[in-house]
Every structure is written in structure tokens, then in C-alpha cells.
Amino acid sequence: MATEQIANDVLQTAGGTSLGISPLENVMQLLTNFGFFKVVLPFLLIFAMFYAILLKTGVLGDADKAPWVKSTSAIIALVAAFLVIAYTPVVDAMMTFIPQAAFLLVIALLVLMLFAFLGFKTEDLYGKMNKWVLVIIIPLILIFLAMIGYSVGPGVPVLYGLSQGLIGGFTFDMDSETMSLLIGMLIIIGIPLIVVSAVVMAGGKKGIIG
């Protein structure tokens, strides 16, 4: 019955435009209805993370010396993945957090590219850091994040709130929602700075940047 239902969904998708205006959108909508993004992908992600952590940390022992370690790690990772996807709030939180976290990494990469375009080197950011460099860099990052927030709109609430704050559209009623937004703004500003700092420091040691 499930196979027939999927086939009917495919036929309805191919025969109408209710699920999208292009074949690719129809396929994406079909995968969404099938639970691919809420079940399959979170399951694979959690399984891979648990399995890799168990093998990397060697909690169960050395996989090269004990053949049973890999199979046991796989069973533990499998059970953990099933337990996670069975709890809907966790899956919903993952679906909200992971795309925005990936978006933050893209922002961090764009910030690095912006620094390189402006001619900043490793010694400018760390070796010879001074207050004038901070005065230039911090407002530049804020303006850059605000531009991104304004372009993406309310889809990324924290960045959008930052953009509204810089253009004077932010209200200062300190209710719980506003406090959450302020904390989120601090986090979303801090994470790119931390990522940029880590990459620049690693690049300085290895001679990649500067």
C-alpha cells in the first residue's frame, strides 16, 4: 500500500503543478512528504557522528587491535540515531540549527575573503593588532552581517534583527523575545569572529594566510 501511495504521489506530481512549478521542486516536495529530510538525513547524520566519535576517541578500545570495536560502535550509533529521530523536538531543532550553522560558516568564509580583498594579513590581525584595526574591522563585520540579514529577510531572524537594529527599526522593549534576540545577535556575531580567528591563527602557523 505504501508503494502504491508513493506511485500515486509521483503521478499526481507529474500531472499537476500543485506541488511545484518545476520537476526538481516536485521531487523535493515528494522527498519532504516522504520524510527524507526529517528522518533519513538526521538518521544518517547522527549515526555518522556517533560512529566517528566512538572510533576517534577510542572509548571502546582500539579498533585495530579489537575487531569487535567497529561492530559495537556501529550498533551503539545505530541505536542512538533511532532514538534521536524518534524524538520530534530534537529533529525539528536540528533542521532549524544546522542550515543556519552552515550559513554562519559561509558568512565566516565571506568575511575572510573580504579581509583578503582589503589586504589584511595575519600580522595585521594578531601580530600588530591595535585599536584602529578593531575600530575598522568590528563595524565592517556588523555592516556586512546586517546587509546579509536585510537581504535574506525574516528567514534568518537574528541577522534580520541585526539589520533592523542598524537601520533604526529595532524596538527596545526588553521583553523575553527581545532578550532572546539580543542574545542570538551576540552569538551570531561571536561565532563568525571565533571561526575567523581560528582560521587566521591556523593559517598564520602554517603559512596559509599572509
**pLDDT tens digits for 110-158?**
777 777 776 666 555 555 555 555 666 677 677 767 766 666 666 666 6
Domain final residue pick, 34, 56, 87: 87
The count of structural domains within the chain is 2
The boundaries of the domain holding residue 185 are 90-206
Q: Which residues contact 163 (CB under 8 A, 6 or more apart)?
A: 145, 146, 147, 148, 149, 150
Domain check: are 50 and 118 in the same one?
no
Distance from chain centroid for Cα 104 = 6
The owner of cell 560558516 is 105
What is the C-alpha to C-alpha distance for residues 162 and 148, in angstroms, rounded to an integer?
10
53's grid cell? 566519535
Domain check: are 126 and 165 in the same one?
yes
Domain check: are 142 and 55 in the same one?
no
Average pLDDT over the chain reads: 70
Domain check: are 58 and 94 in the same one?
no
Rg of the chain (C-alpha set): 23
Domain check: are 190 and 117 in the same one?
yes
What is the C-alpha to C-alpha distance for residues 210 and 204, in angstroms, rounded to an integer?
7
**pLDDT tens digits for 158-205?**
666 666 766 665 544 445 665 666 666 667 666 666 766 666 666 555
pLDDT number for residue 174? 47
Q: Which has the higher per-residue pLDDT, 4 or 23?
A: 23
pTM of the model: 0.47
Domain check: are 106 and 195 in the same one?
yes
Question: Of the candidates 85, 83, 106, 103, which has an alpha carbon nearest to the alpha carbon of residue 94?
Answer: 85
